[in-house]
Amino acid sequence: MEKEQTKNQQENQKKSQKLQWHPTFCSALRLELLEDAANLEFTDEFQLTEKPLQIDCTVVKVKKNCRIKNEIGKIFRKYNIFEYKSPMDELNIDTFYKAIAYACLYKVLPNHVNEIPAEEITITLIRDRKPVKLMQELERSGYECKKETAGIYYIYSVMFPVQIIVSSELDTDMHVQLKALTDHLDETLMRQYLLEVSAFAEREKNLADVVLQVIVNSNMEKVEEWKGSEQTMCEALRVLMKEELKEERVAGLREGRLEGQREGQICAYATLVQDGIITVEIGAEKAGMSVDDFTKEMKKAGYVIPAV
């Protein structure tokens, strides 16, 4: 039993690792900051060097002095770097220093000296679970970790302003887009997410579709239960997953046609056996079945098997 559970956990972990969490996060971040979209410019997987060294997402304030309404943007300056960790990844001390290194490289990237001032850069580290060990290590290293508001922690005494966002602790009404990025989704959160995205315009719905696919695939067992648990939930899923459901329907029809053809072949051979035209053995061979299975199917369908 334990071996089977371990095997299932390993399979679920492999499946979760294959999901495209990082681009999904970038879509969710756009939706999270939708109210301030006119003042922000997003770049996914910002290329730092010619070699594969990438920032998960950068958010640049188009208007330097504009005020960002969303509380995760309270810390924002002009250039804002995001380092995201999926539910399967660890947010640790190396991630912290890697983000600082990315910020330093980002600062020196332009051709002109000090084109990007250090004081105009911020760093945001984000994961769904609280990185307790990281915070303890930061405090031991002389940094101060202070809770700014639910799910948002500021790290002081760093060369750049740094915040850690724990998405599971965020206020659901204000941050459902980021909060839903988890592999342990509950029904209340899923319902609120669906209600919010159902009101989006077409462009935002395209972003929401990217997020939804990962959310659904990483919480598949729960979603399967919810599909039939409540009409509102079922309808919302049906609308947002229309393409996936369309593919399932086509596959089902194809499978049904093949099954129908199969049953038709068995009936044809069973009729020939009943009429004594061919033997049971030949009928079973033609149907691609064992003699026992073929005779069982004949009896189930009401055919008479001739005595030998």
Residues sharing a CB contact under 8 Å with residue 240, sequence separation 6 or more, in sequence order: 194, 197, 198, 205, 208, 209, 212
Side chain identity at 18, as an amino acid letter? K
- Backbone angles phi and psi of 56, in degrees to 5: -60, -45
My answer on whether 19 and 152 are in the same domain is yes
Q: For the chain, how many residues are written?
A: 308
Contact status, residue 228 vs residue 187, Cβ threshold 8 Å: no
Say which CATH number the domain at 122 has: 3.40.1350
- pLDDT at site 275: 61
pLDDT digits (tens, 9 = 90+) for 227-251: 655 554 555 565 555 555 455 544 5
My answer on whether 163 and 277 are in the same domain is no
Residue 24's domain comprises 2-179
My answer on whether 8 and 117 are in the same domain is yes
Count of CB atoms within 10 A of residue 143's CB? 15
Given a cut of 50, is residue 142 above it in pLDDT?
yes
Structure tokens at 130: 């609280």
| DSSP class of 220 | H
What's this model's pTM, rounded to 2 decimal places?
Answer: 0.68
Residues sharing a CB contact under 8 Å with residue 49, sequence separation 6 or more, in sequence order: 105
From residue 285, give the alpha-carbon distance in Å to each of 86, 266, 288, 298: 53, 11, 5, 14
Domain boundary among 179, 210, 232: 179
pLDDT digits (tens, 9 = 90+) for 7-49: 555 555 555 556 778 888 888 999 999 999 999 999 888 877 6
How many domains in the chain? Answer: 2
Structure tokens at 165: 């966002």
Residue 207 lies in a domain: no
Beta-bridged to residue 60, according to DSSP, are 41, 79
Beta-bridged to residue 146, according to DSSP, are 154
Residue 124 lies in a domain: yes
Domain boundary among 179, 201, 234: 179
pLDDT digits (tens, 9 = 90+) for 64-106: 788 899 999 999 999 999 999 999 899 999 999 999 999 999 9
Q: Collapse the DSSP code of 56 into the 3-class scheme (helix H, G, I; strand E, B; otherwise coil) and give the result.
A: strand
My answer on whether 15 and 164 are in the same domain is yes
Residue 213 lies in a domain: no
CA distance 277 to 295: 16
